[in-house]
Structure 1
């Protein structure tokens, strides 16, 4: 297993929403999240002015009078973690939620996204669209990846290791006080370890377990056993909702389409991730613009409806369509909240639908963009795998099933012609034919394959091959076994005797 831990270090600030882009020539505002009259998180502008987490509000305002103080909202933080997890669902179905982090098990996703580097680039791009930044730790265990992301290694950077041995070495070098704070264990335990001269995690691991447990370190030892891979660490996977509908509040009023589209980015990316996780594509969706109540009468929300001609799950395309619709929509007042709702989805649609050789009706030619996309794919696959490994099927004029179809290199061949209709009276054909027919035993003149077979169709006779010296005289049947699987069998005349053979299997 390989775990990526995305620690949302600036979660209290990012959960409240990003401010709209400043006007040309204006500077970004300094912002900070306040909890119990102390600064919890500050943005880069406030940090440049000398403001740091842990300061009192009075000290911070004396250093930066224009500092915007925002109250911490734990409910919005929990909702934002789920929103990030939904957006990342397109990379792996194995996701675990933490209070300030999202864990991804990505061992099965590396080849799909071009290795670890390619996956990391896509992850950061998706996080940027949602409005989040993350410190990414990596390790073969979930606990180690989370500690390496939260605490960090040398220089405060997140630690990353692909093997358990390397991860243990990085964990040994973590400060024990920071680990205890990350695990939300009592602070007196950190004071105890500092007092006995164990500032590093490797020294803590070398202590006698019994003595440390008696002094309240049992929870710490259990967490370290799971992180070091010495104890099992089962995780509860994140399950996305069955229906997609999410919303967000805006800290600043939005008056024009550009500001609304900027705020809607953090909703569109989770929709794309949810669709990819469910293997669906969006056909229709609605963005509801929520307005402020005026007087005693609430204003009805404004509906911005999107109807895609070709269902899609691409976030960029959805956001482009949304911007176009917002430019042509009028609303009665400022927008203070958004809610995105998926109205209709289509299974297995989107980009894959363009890789077809014919359109909806049988025999109709493919459109030019479809043909170009298909040919470009064939060229890329042939260049990467070799022309001899990318084949396409072709039909031959022969009644014998094993000679009725073949394969030729797909690159540079003649265009594939659509197959005609199946002749009337022709029996069922399985998609899987054996390379060599398998001779079957007989019992009471009936074939046996894992038990006696029951013939479910009448005989379909095929006689061909007299013209090339490979005469075949066969009676084909669809047979059912005791396991209820359907087989394609035939009885062939060889001289004066008939023998049973298995030629194919039905899916």
Structure 2
């Protein structure tokens, strides 16, 4: 097995809700829990504030420091969102309080090796808006120790090299797996144990009697001498991701950047659940002035199921740019409304000729996002022999019906590309021949269309292809002489 660990050193600070006072400006900010600082931003760090200091000490050094209590719920939500994004790399994920562990042995060949996989993991973390340190080892404990210890080369692919690197780690790094008690720390210091290798070299019976079983078990699991079962991360049944903005947004560019940070988690959820999105919703929470402002809900419908976050980001950019914000937005929520089962697209050695369904659907979705779903339509065939009823307009983003009853084969007679909205009456000469800017020459045999008895709009027509003096081909018909009408000629369409 091979594990990758992603450790979030600034998680308490990065997970803070940005509605806290002071986070919108370049002020020194720190996160504290039980009167001890857990992290500080760059402004505070430059002025001498460090993690591990007491709040009193930090305030004595920097009276203008903004101290914010830790938000564990926000940290758990951020770690889960990162785990969903990493679901695009492997379904074997395990959550830690401040990071994510990935078992990637089965996906190495798919992504081109461990180095490409590490690069993708870092890119997904960056796209999700977090800073992560990575570690790689044959066991999850060793990978986590490598990521949290700040090694120059925190990657070991073999058990032997992993054990050699673990031997050089200080004993204090073991607290990342199992925090030692004060008595254990004092005993290790009294024994002069400085590294994990020296601790492992002690007799195991005496080590367990003096330091307990748990510490020795954590050490054995890191070296691979004992099994290390981990609970797998299970994605939620429904996808919803929220993000509070770093600044109040009154333009589309800020909202687009916030939505793009949520899309990697959506793609990972879709891959873990073997689904593809067909309809998304974006809820915008506005600032409340004198009167409460209701949330704005925007919907995005796709003409074809997709997992492509690049396409989704482009569609949301087009959608948000044409939406005027009445009041600034301080939080967004991306919700998956409709998804369909999707096992992925099979690979092809050579692209099939004329295979442009995906590009055509992407173009329709982009036009609908830019112009509005009601302004982009497509024709859907109908089970009717009458040309004016053989198809109808449907919104481009509207999902197609489950089934369409259409003839198994196209009609043998030619059909024009341009059909007139209403048939145009034609004049006839003394012999009853049609005229349209001059005499028309009939070029085809009659095609009888007789239908509409079932809805009270019966038609009985004989269609022909006719050529005029301008050498343009027309689609004309003559009403059946037994009809109540005069049996005249009509122009119904033009051939391209």
Which range, TM-score by smaller chain? 0.5 to 0.7
Aligned CA distance change for structure 1 residues 99 and 211 (closer, same or farther; 3 Å): same
Q: Give 1:132's aligned residue.
A: 130
* Distance in 2 between residues matched to 1:219 and 1:239, nearest whole Å: 27
Alignment partner of 1:7 is 2:7: yes
Match of residue 93, structure 2, among 92, 95, 113: 95
Q: Give 1:151's aligned residue.
A: 149
* Contact 1:3–1:145 under 8 Å retained in 2: yes
Match of residue 338, structure 2, among 338, 344, 367: 344
Q: Give 2:171's aligned residue.
A: 176
* Contact 1:5–1:137 under 8 Å retained in 2: yes
Alignment partner of 1:160 is 2:158: no
Q: What is the deviation of 1:83?
A: 0.8
Q: What is the deviation of 1:99?
A: 0.9
* Contact 2:251–2:325 under 8 Å retained in 1: no
* Contact 2:17–2:74 under 8 Å retained in 1: no
Aligned CA distance change for structure 1 residues 294 and 28 (closer, same or farther; 3 Å): closer
SS in 2 for 1:112: helix
Q: What is the deviation of 1:203?
A: 1.1
Cα RMSD of the aligned pairs, angstroms, is 3.1
Q: What is the deviation of 1:123?
A: 1.1
Q: What is the deviation of 1:138?
A: 1.0
SS in 1 for 2:87: helix
Q: What is the deviation of 1:73?
A: 0.4
Match of residue 34, structure 2, among 7, 25, 36: 36
Q: Give 1:278's aligned residue.
A: 273
Q: What is the deviation of 1:143?
A: 1.4
Q: Give 1:85's aligned residue.
A: 83
> When the two structures are aligned, how many residues end up with a matched partner?
358
Aligned CA distance change for structure 1 residues 181 and 96 (closer, same or farther; 3 Å): closer
**Which protein has the larger Cα radius of gyration, Structure 1 or Structure 2?**
2
Aligned CA distance change for structure 1 residues 266 and 169 (closer, same or farther; 3 Å): same
Moved more, 63-72 or 180-189: 63-72
**What is the TM-score of this pair, normalised by structure 1?**
0.64
Q: What is the deviation of 1:61?
A: 5.4
SS in 1 for 2:157: coil
* Contact 1:312–1:349 under 8 Å retained in 2: no
User: Superposed, which structure 2 residues align to 1:279-358 within 5 Å?
Assistant: 279-294=274-289, 298-348=292-342, 357=352
Q: What is the deviation of 1:226?
A: 1.1
* Distance in 2 between residues matched to 1:245 and 1:338, nearest whole Å: 10
* Distance in 1 between residues matched to 2:347 and 2:177, nearest whole Å: 47
Q: Over residues 248-294 of structure 1, what are the superposed CA-to-partner deviations in whole Å (9 max), with x where a residue is unaligned?
A: 33464333222222333332210011112223221110011123455
Q: Over residues 158-212 of structure 1, what are the superposed CA-to-partner deviations in whole Å (9 max), with x where a residue is unaligned?
A: 6221111111111111111231354223132122101111111111112222222
* Distance in 1 between residues matched to 2:57 and 2:251, nearest whole Å: 37
Aligned CA distance change for structure 1 residues 158 and 69 (closer, same or farther; 3 Å): farther
Structure 1 unaligned blocks of 5 or more: 20-25, 359-364, 372-419, 422-507
* Contact 1:151–1:158 under 8 Å retained in 2: no
* Distance in 1 between residues matched to 2:153 and 2:29, nearest whole Å: 25
Aligned CA distance change for structure 1 residues 96 and 178 (closer, same or farther; 3 Å): same
* Contact 2:148–2:176 under 8 Å retained in 1: no
Q: Give 1:197's aligned residue.
A: 192
* Contact 1:180–1:190 under 8 Å retained in 2: no
Q: What is the deviation of 1:104?
A: 0.3
SS in 2 for 1:102: strand
